[in-house]
């Protein structure tokens, strides 16, 4: 018996394996694009928070109480200590 071509079963198995590989690649690429988008959004928010922290850092301790910003919360903890919150970042600032 001389076989010159592929049987129908071999073609179906090869096609199924190819479709499985393509669908796995498609799924993994969607997941990786989601991670890239979330990392980009996180980088932007961290850059914004860091920039706001730098603005607050440049103020003297006496100017902190009067500083107001939509994304910054400053709480006077003691006569010489302030809690500064920018987004999810917190820091303490002393007058010393």
| C-alpha span between 41 and 60 (Å, rounded) | 31
Q: What's the pLDDT at 79?
A: 82
The Cα-based distances of 84 to 19, 32, 42, 50, 77 in angstroms read: 54, 35, 20, 12, 10
Average pLDDT over residues 12-37: 96
pLDDT band at 2 (very low <50, low <70, confident <90, very high): low
What integer pLDDT is reported at residue 26 of this predicted model? 97
Please tell me the predicted confidence (pLDDT) of residue 37.
95
DSSP count for the chain of H helices, then E strands:
2, 3
Instruction: Identify which has the larger pLDDT, 65 or 91.
Output: 91
Residue 28 is predicted with a pLDDT of 97
């Amino acid at each position: 018996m001389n076989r010159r071509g592929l049987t129908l079963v071999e073609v179906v198995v090869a096609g199924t394996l190819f479709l499985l590989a393509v669908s796995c690649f498609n799924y993994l690429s969607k997941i990786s694009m989601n991670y890239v988008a979330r990392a980009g959004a996180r980088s932007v928010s961290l850059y914004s928070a860091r920039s706001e922290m730098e603005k607050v850092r440049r103020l003297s301790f006496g100017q902190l109480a009067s500083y107001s910003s939509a994304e910054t919360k400053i709480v006077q903890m003691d006569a010489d200590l302030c809690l500064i919150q920018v987004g999810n970042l917190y820091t303490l600032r002393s007058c010393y």
